[in-house]
């Protein structure tokens, strides 16, 4: 082909378009999203970074439908399929799957995830053999061994070591400019909730805190545990209290009465709070739903309202004062979000480090 002036200008135009498309694509990717996926009385959070995706927990409320028909499992898979259809650059690959603790509401759909997508790292904190989600975790340990997936069983006593998960963190930092740091990990507690993995994520000056089902205290009752994880997180010697400050707090234990304390909230000073819980008014014939557990708890939601200044578009919420008793219905205008009121919840930190109110599906 002869390079006439017309051809050259077409080539220049094409090159400009290519550069423009590349710039546009990288601008839309120079952001982080946190997706709290609505899996009912359970938890599954997808972290979307410029070059990686990380899944924290793969739970789903038990609806007594056959596994493949379970509407929360279907929703989780459809959500992730749509995510990977948009992020074709990720090649159906989750950089990491993290299990906060081995309770069924956090592990139920793990196997479906590992069967459907490529996973590079599996991170868990162990737990008692009879923990409700341990059969799911054991199944994944087998898959991990078969497929040579990197496996990390992490414990609280290790998190302060300089070498702790160094290569793993470095990969996410260099590829996605995301800082992921565990503030606590497995603790061999009687109550697995207090052995939850606690993860802090920072991206372009904004931060997110994931505390699993951490509780205030577990020293009461006939089977005392190893101490409340929330209190431990406030302890300088055991953890990193200076790193608790976060813009988004994924509230502990589905908004349970024992999953939030004033002292903890005053340390975190969240701008936004997110709860993952089922709809209390919906009861299935098994016992694993929000009404049975009393989630989200009215006292906890009130405490969050007192400690969060940011407002949200008003919404009518349903909370509970006690398990299996009273249901309260009332308006809310503080920046507290729940999968039980909002459906799927998506926070975005843009390329300039802005963190506006999340998008919700309801
Ligand atoms: Zn849970
Ligand atoms: Zn739990």
Please give the Cα distance from 349 to 195 (Å, whole number).
29
Centre of ligand 1 to C-alpha 182, Å, is 19
Residues with CB under 5 A from ligand 1 (ion): 105, 213
pLDDT of the residue at 250: 97
Centre of ligand 1 to C-alpha 193, Å, is 8
Handedness of CA 78, 79, 82, 83 (dihedral sign): negative
Residues 77-96 have a mean pLDDT of 98
7 pLDDT higher than 80:
no
Centre of ligand 1 to C-alpha 43, Å, is 7
Percent of the chain with pLDDT over 90: 70
Centre of ligand 1 to C-alpha 97, Å, is 16
pLDDT of the residue at 261: 93
- Tell me if the domain spanning 31-350 has CATH number 3.20.20.140: no
Confidence of residue 319 (pLDDT cuts 50, 70, 90): confident
18 pLDDT higher than 60:
no
Centre of ligand 2 to C-alpha 314, Å, is 30
pLDDT of the residue at 29: 74
> Tell me: the pLDDT tens digits for 238-271?
899 999 999 999 999 998 888 899 999 999 999 9
Q: Which ligand has the shortest distance to the CA of 105? A: 1
Please give the Cα distance from 150 to 94 (Å, whole number).
12
Q: Considering only 97-101, 185-189, 215-219, 290-294, which range has the smallest mean pLDDT?
A: 290-294
2 pLDDT higher than 50:
no
Return the ∠ at Cα 311 (arms to 309 and 313), rounded to 5°. 170
Residue 203: name the closest of 163, 168, 172 by CA: 172
Centre of ligand 1 to C-alpha 213, Å, is 5
Q: Which ligand has the shortest distance to the CA of 276? A: 1
Confidence of residue 3 (pLDDT cuts 50, 70, 90): very low
166 pLDDT higher than 90:
yes
Where do the H-state alpha helices sit in the chain? 5-29, 71-86, 104-107, 110-116, 134-147, 166-176, 229-233, 262-268, 290-293, 298-307, 339-342
Average pLDDT over the chain reads 89
> Tell me: the pLDDT tens digits for 170-188?
999 999 999 999 999 999 8
pLDDT of the residue at 165: 98
Confidence of residue 219 (pLDDT cuts 50, 70, 90): low
Centre of ligand 1 to C-alpha 164, Å, is 26
Q: Which ligand has the shortest distance to the CA of 59? A: 1
72 pLDDT higher than 80:
yes
Residues with CB under 5 A from ligand 2 (ion): 103, 193, 213
Please state, in angstroms and as integers, the Cα–Cα distance from residue 230 to each residue in 87, 100, 118, 251, 313, following that order.
35, 14, 33, 11, 30
Contacts of 123 by beta carbon, 8 Å cutoff, 6+ apart: 96, 97, 98, 99, 152, 154, 197
98 pLDDT higher than 90:
yes
pLDDT of the residue at 1: 46
Contact 196, 232 (CB under 8 A): no
Confidence of residue 283 (pLDDT cuts 50, 70, 90): low
Please give the Cα distance from 344 to 360 (Å, whole number).
6
Centre of ligand 1 to C-alpha 20, Å, is 45
pLDDT of the residue at 354: 98
Output DSSP code: residue 132. T
pLDDT of the residue at 135: 97
Name the residue ranges covered by the structural domains of the chain.
Answer: 31-350
Please give the Cα distance from 154 to 124 (Å, whole number).
6
48 pLDDT higher than 80:
yes
Cβ atoms within 10 Å of 18's Cβ, excluding its own = 10
Matching residue, tokens 């205030």: 216
pLDDT of the residue at 64: 73
Matching residue, tokens 């972290």: 47
Please give the Cα distance from 327 to 293 (Å, whole number).
12
Listing DSSP states for 197-211 in one string gives -EEEEEETTEEEEE-
Q: Which residues pair with 184 in a beta bridge?
A: 198
> Tell me: the pLDDT tens digits for 350-359?
999 999 999 9
Confidence of residue 163 (pLDDT cuts 50, 70, 90): very high
Centre of ligand 1 to C-alpha 281, Å, is 18
Handedness of CA 27, 29, 32, 33 (dihedral sign): positive
Q: Which ligand has the shortest distance to the CA of 41? A: 1
> Tell me: the pLDDT tens digits for 129-160?
999 999 999 999 999 999 989 999 999 999 99
Residues 115-128 have a mean pLDDT of 97
Q: Which ligand has the shortest distance to the CA of 132? A: 2
Q: Considering only 21-30, 192-201, 285-294, 347-356, which range has the smallest mean pLDDT?
A: 21-30
Centre of ligand 2 to C-alpha 29, Å, is 33
- Say if residue 296 is preceded by a cis peptide, omega within 30 of 0: yes
Centre of ligand 2 to C-alpha 42, Å, is 9
- The highest-confidence range among 64-78, 240-254, 286-300, by mean pLDDT, is 240-254
């Amino acid at each position: 082909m002869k390079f006439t002036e017309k051809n050259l200008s077409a080539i220049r135009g094409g090159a400009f378009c290519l550069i423009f498309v590349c710039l546009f694509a990288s601008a839309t990717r120079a952001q982080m999203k946190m997706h709290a996926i609505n899996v009912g009385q359970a938890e599954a959070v997808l972290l979307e970074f410029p070059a990686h995706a990380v899944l924290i927990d793969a739970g789903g409320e038990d609806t007594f439908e056959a596994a493949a028909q379970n509407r929360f499992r279907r929703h989780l898979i459809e959500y992730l399929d749509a995510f990977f259809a948009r992020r074709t650059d990720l090649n159906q690959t989750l950089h990491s799957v993290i299990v906060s603790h081995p309770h069924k509401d956090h592990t139920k759909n793990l196997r479906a995830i590992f069967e459907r997508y490529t996973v590079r790292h599996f991170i868990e904190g162990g737990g008692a053999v009879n923990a409700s989600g341990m059969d799911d975790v054991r199944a994944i340990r087998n898959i991990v061994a078969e497929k040579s997936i990197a496996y990390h069983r992490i414990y609280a006593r290790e998190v302060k070591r300089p070498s702790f998960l160094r290569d793993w963190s470095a990969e996410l930092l260099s590829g996605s400019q995301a800082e992921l740091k565990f503030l606590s990990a497995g603790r061999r507690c009687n109550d697995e909730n207090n052995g939850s993995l606690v993860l802090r994520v920072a991206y372009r000056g904004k931060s997110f805190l994931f505390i699993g089902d951490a509780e205030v205290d577990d020293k009461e009752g006939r089977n005392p545990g190893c101490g409340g994880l929330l209190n431990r997180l406030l302890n300088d010697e055991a953890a990193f209290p200076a790193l608790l400050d976060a813009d988004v707090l994924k509230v502990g234990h589905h908004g349970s009465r024992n999953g939030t304390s004033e002292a903890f909230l005053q340390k975190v000073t969240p701008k936004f709070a997110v709860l993952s819980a089922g709809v209390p008014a919906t009861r299935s014939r098994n016992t694993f739903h929000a009404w049975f557990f009393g989630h989200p708890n009215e006292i906890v939601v009130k405490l969050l309202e007192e400690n969060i200044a940011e407002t949200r578009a008003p919404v009518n919420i349903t909370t509970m004062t006690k398990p299996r008793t009273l249901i309260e219905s009332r308006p809310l205008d503080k920046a507290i979000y729940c999968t039980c009121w909002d459906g799927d919840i998506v926070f975005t930190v843009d390329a300039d480090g802005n963190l506006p109110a999340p998008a919700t599906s309801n």
